[in-house]
Structure formats: structure tokens, C-alpha cells
Amino acid sequence: MCCLPVIMVFSQSAPKPYGPLPSKGQLQWQETEMYCIIHFGPDTYTDKEWGFGDEDPMIVNPTQFSALQIVGAAKAGGFKGVVIVAKHHDGFCMWPTKTTEHNISKSPYKNGKGDIVGEYRDACKQLGMKLGLYCSPWDRNSPLYGKPEYVTDVYRKQLEELYSNYGPLFIVWHDGANGGDGYYGGTKEVRKIDRSTYYGWDKTWGIARRLQPNACIFGDVGPDVRWVGNEEGHAGETSWATYTPHAPDSGKTPGNGYTKDFEGTAGHRDGQYWMPAECDVPFRPGWFYHKSQDGKAKSADSLLNLYYKSVGRGACLDLGLEPDQRGRINDDDVSKLKAFGDILRTTFSHNLASGATLKASNVRGGNLAKFGPAHLLDNNRYSYWATDDQVHTPELVLDLHKKTWFNVIRLRENIKLGQRIDAIAIDVWQDGKWKEIATATSIGGNRLIRLDKGISTSKVRLRITKAPVCIALSDFGLYKENKLAPPVFQTSLK
């Protein structure tokens, strides 16, 4: 028998994933960060937000409809995708569906040969934008609404048509609004349903899983992306990507999530599922176009505020755009979107930390090439600085070599390994000592810290102050927010 020398073994393998993990579709959704939901249909012509279902298809007559102009305006705003409302609560289908006569083929648009959803699909392809679809479960036109046949013969068939003919989709959007009064084939009555059981969600969601396997399913309660709990466009200051929907009236038992104590704004640190939040908010006061709201679209500055409170808190921002009766986004709205996009592009195009020398208190297995802090600056969400298993609260010093002014800090975890970090603090070197300037919780796929006032310093320190496991941080950025004057509007798309 011989004795082997005792060797300190440092881990060279990747950290073990922590908690629930995102699917491929959820990773792609996270990278999308911002998209626009577009409401256009009978309500655009009746000045309503929720059509009753008795609208005459003849009113839908956009004489200058341009999906390219609409999707182009979103793109100029820095948005990477659009979600098209293919059918709103009024039941009018914007594509030539076989499931109901109440659709675009009965309108004067293109003499009944139009397909608005198809035009959006083509525009997205041309402009390199992602496409998602919204098809309202509640249908105030269908005589069958409230009966099981509506779900099996109408709603699910509509989803099948949409998911088969208009992909690839990055998200499918299921509205929470449900039941109530409506036209319902002329009966004009109140039809109530139990929204947690009526739509047979498992089977209904199964259609998306089968036909669009990479699409995330959005709903009040997920299953892939949860509603944030408000329509104001912001997540909680702390917003975990993980979440456990609770059963109705059962306190804290996991269930289908249709419960009064909705906790989507903050999520749950120890949530059972990876189910990050989407923050939806209309650009103007309403989701549909109303002439009386011309000039009332949010300014570039307020969009920027919302960006920090949604995307900056690990959620995605879903901004409602409202094409007018011509079928175009109004010029004032277009120029505000463009001004917002310009601020984002100029602010985030240059990471002021890129030339810094980095010194980490610990690197996993001492393996700088694989797990070193240089990965924080390579602009890759999935390469990362990791620590040894037992090191949960490391520090990192960035020497910027010269005084540098910044007012935004960006942190990202490699979420393929889960959400690992609870809390961090940032210090700057001032007057010969470290001074704490910011703290944050719930880092996840993206965390932006916007300082009240910018700061000038030559050294920055990041402290991970709480984590249940070793860290896997992929990104560290310092930025100078660049607010440009709104540009003069120019039409470049037909």
C-alpha cells in the first residue's frame, strides 16, 4: 500500500445549476427584452377599447395600412419584436379564418382578400423582427362562447390556424380578461365562465407546444412568462425570475395561480418555476387608437424610465402601439419611439468598463481562461465569471485607469445556471477610500442600476453580498446615459 499525496482539488467543471432553469424559448425571450403589442381592429373605428362583438366588418377599412411602417416604427424604437392582436375581445379575426365569418375577408380591405396578420408576418421577416400573436380567449361575438364547443371548435381551431400559418413565433399571448356581457350571436346577454377551468389550459397550451415549440406562453399565470400584475409597465424593485402560482383560495398551495393574492410583481425567490415577468403598458392612454389621444403618447424620457423599471429589473417591456384608422402609426408617436431608440442605442453602445483591469477575490478552480472575470466584458450573456463552490460572496475590483463618468451600471447572470445572486453592492474609489453608491437585489438575466446623479471615479468595486451558492456572473457594464434631442421625423418606409 502506498499513500497518495493530498492535493487541493479546485473545481474545473461548471457550477451545478441552481433552482428552476429557463427553457430555450425563455432564454430567447429574455434576450428580446423589448417588444410592442399592436392593437388594431374594429375598436380603431368605433373609438372603443372593448368592442361588444356586434361591429359591422365593413367599418374596418384601412386605406393606407402598412405593416412595414408599423413594425418599422417599433424597430426604430429599439424594440426587437411585435405581438399582433389577431383577435380582440370583440371576436373579429384579422386573418381570413375558417372558424367564423366575422373576419377581415368580410371587410372592404383589399376587397375581402386582405390578411393583416400575414402582412405583419412578412414585414417582420423583412425587417428582422420577432413575431408573437395574441388571440383573445374571450369572444363577445361567438354564439358558442360559454359552451364547451367554443373552446374545442372555435378558439383552439383559431390557435391552430394562427400557429400553423404565421410562425415562427417567439411568444403567444393569452389575455386574462374574460366573460361578461356581449353580442354572442345576437343573444346580447351576460356569459360567465370560470377562467381557470373553461379554456382547458393544458390542452390549449399544448397547441403552442406542438406547433411553435420555441414560443413562450404568456398568461396571468405563465406558464412561461407571467403577467407582472399591473398595466403600467413596471416590475418590482426586486423581481425574481422564479415564481409559484398558487391555487385559488388555498393560501400558499401551488396551483393554477388564479388567486387574489397575486404576487407577479416581485415573483418568489424560491419559486417553483422559471417564470419571469412581462411588463405591458400602452404607449398612449388606451390600447387602441383614439383621435382624442393624439399627442398623448409617452415621451422618450418616460419610456426610458419604464425601460429601467422593466428591462432593468429582469423583465421584458411590452409596449402597446396603436395604429390609426389609416392603418399607420401617427407621426408624433413615430418620432417619440425613434428618440427613445436613439437614447438606448447611444447609451448602451459603449461599455465604459471595457478597458478596465479586473481583479476578482476568487476564480473557480483558479481557471482564469474558463471562469475568469474577463468574461464579464466580452458581451456574451452566457460566458461568465464563476467562483469556487464554497465562495458565495466574492468581490471584484475594476481599475478603469482614468476618471470615468457614468450613471448606469449593468449586471447579468448566466441564467442557464439559474438565478443565483440575491444581492450586490457597488462601491467607488473616492478620496482614498471606498464609498458605497448603490445596492441591488435579484440580478438574473438583466439588472440596470440608474444612479440619481452620475459619478466620476477611476476604480469601481462590486461586492456580491448575498447568494445561496457560488456565482456565475456574465456581464458587468458602466454606461453614460445619452439623451439626445428628439430627431426631426422622416418617413423612410412606405
Task: Catalog residues that contact ligand FUL under the rule CB under 6 A.
Answer: 37, 49, 175-177, 280, 287
Q: How far is the CB of 140 from ligand FUL (least distance, A)?
A: 11
Distance CA 432, CA 80 (A): 44
Q: How far is the CB of 240 from ligand FUL (least distance, A)?
A: 23
Residue of this chain nearest to ligand FUL (CB atom): 177
Distance CA 182, CA 150 (A): 15
Nearer to ligand FUL, 15 or 286 (CB): 286
Q: How far is the CB of 282 from ligand FUL (least distance, A)?
A: 8
Backbone angles phi, psi at 62, to 5 degrees: -75, 115
Q: How far is the CB of 234 from ligand FUL (least distance, A)?
A: 15
Q: CA of 180: how far to CAs of 19, 46, 147, 188, in Å?
A: 40, 20, 14, 10
Distance CA 410, CA 424 (A): 12
Dihedral sign, Cα of residue 251, residue 253, residue 255, residue 257: positive
Q: Which helix (H) or strand (E) holds 134?
A: strand 130-135
Nearer to ligand FUL, 18 or 287 (CB): 287
Q: How far is the CB of 366 from ligand FUL (least distance, A)?
A: 51
Q: How far is the CB of 175 from ligand FUL (least distance, A)?
A: 5
Nearer to ligand FUL, 282 or 444 (CB): 282
CA 341 to chain centre: 16
Q: How far is the CB of 11 from ligand FUL (least distance, A)?
A: 46
Nearer to ligand FUL, 76 or 135 (CB): 135
Is 434 exposed, middle or buried, given 0-12, 13-18 or 19+ CB atoms closer than 10 A?
A: middle
Q: How far is the CB of 471 from ligand FUL (least distance, A)?
A: 36
Nearer to ligand FUL, 177 or 190 (CB): 177
Nearer to ligand FUL, 229 or 365 (CB): 229
b (16+ CB within 10 A) / e for 128-158: ebbbbbbbbbbbbbbbbbbeeebbeebbbbb
Distance CA 78, CA 84 (A): 17
Nearer to ligand FUL, 280 or 475 (CB): 280
Nearer to ligand FUL, 101 or 231 (CB): 231
Quickly count: other Cβ atoms within 10 Å of residue 487's Cβ. 12
Strands (E), 239-390: 242-243, 273-274, 277-282, 316-321, 357-360, 385-386
The cell 397547441 sits on which residue?
207
Q: How far is the CB of 164 from ligand FUL (least distance, A)?
A: 23
Nearer to ligand FUL, 38 or 363 (CB): 38
Quick one: cell of 481?
Answer: 446615459
